[in-house]
Structure 1
Amino acid sequence: MALLASATASRGEILPIKAPSNHSAYPIDFYGPIVNCQDANETTVNLIDRLLQEHMAMPKGIAQQIDSGYFGFVPEINSTGDLVALSQPRYQGPSIATNELWMTFQRYIFNSTGHRSRARMWQVCRLHNATYDLRLEWDRGIQKVHGSYEVNEEVGFPSDNPGDISDMANHAYAAFMWVLTDQLVGSLGWYKKHGSGADTEPETLAQFGAIPHTTDKSTR
């Protein structure tokens, strides 16, 4: 699933499949997962900002993050009942997570005179069930896909108790979301090194950007 998700995301389209013949077409209807992203409400914005500040407060060696370009994470309730940000790919294990991705990022906006400025955005992406209506066509090896979809109910994270019969469809949808969020969690930030004379000679201190690696604590 990780390979399929990465390949599909990198192409930005449905992966090609082998055609039944040189000239063929067929329709197909099915249920499948879909991720719907919307602007966060005021309550969620405040939570995202709090978790961002906690993330920025953690030093990286002798450097401190001074600005954030992107911060994406899966919200989870930890063992003490607190909301925490999972900003690294997850390993299999017990979890009280959500089928959601919370993120804040900066983007450029332009006013009526063409002046460019940076604005901070906050979004929440949620997993839903969807109905897909597709038509696949092949003409001499060229694949075309047409269709439409309808977003249905939200799909929550599995919460099976011991002895319960698992809802395998729910687990399959959650696995899709898990793989997708593993590609998107992380951060892009600007850091400033601290040292002696930081208050009197800030111009002598190096500043740099860093993208935390998605599998460990190093930077790339």
Structure 2
Amino acid sequence: METTEIRRKIEAYEIKIEESLTLNKAILKTIQLEKSEKKIRSILVYRTIDLFLFAFLTLYLGNYVVTHWSETHLAISAIIVSVFVLIALAGSIGQVALLQQIDFSKPLVDIRKKIQLVNTQNILFIKLILLSIPLWWSFSLLSLDVFLGFDLYTHLNDVFISWYLICNTALVIPIIWLINKLTYKNTHIGWVRKTIGLFSGKKTRKATEYLNEIEDLEGLTHL
């Protein structure tokens, strides 16, 4: 009888321990999900600000082109910059839409996929910056005129302009090569992995880390 009673108490104690562990893991999972969700909400705020900023720049540049249409070099510079701003605006809209679609009540796999898509959008921004390098002079001409009222183009000679065109045209091929390399498929390459890691966004990485910790907890549950 005593042995049976002891065994019963041990079993009851083990059940309580198991219930306690399950409860603790559930609490930890909730905490990690809340941390991840907080990071995503923070990113959404920043991306929304970006969206309005790019929208404002789009309108401003459109007006600039109209008012400077007679100054061909400034109008062309503004049009070139506008193209990049429009692409950035479209990217921001896409990111905001993706971030709003992340539902933390869904399985972790679904959440992770959405965050991965956000990171992919970040890579597109990197590629956009690379594409703008050969056209950096357009940004310079426009900025000097907008902020300082100084038209640099009128002070340039033909030799400088020719060398600028030659040098920046030569950059096109290596930049295209870089853009093609910057994909998640090439993360086995050191510099690609570091570049993507640098620009993929600290907040999205932290959000993913919290999800990883949840998966680790769930893995322990099945042990």
Q: TM-score range by the shorter chain?
A: under 0.3
User: More strand per residue: 1 or 2?
Assistant: 1
Larger Rg: 2
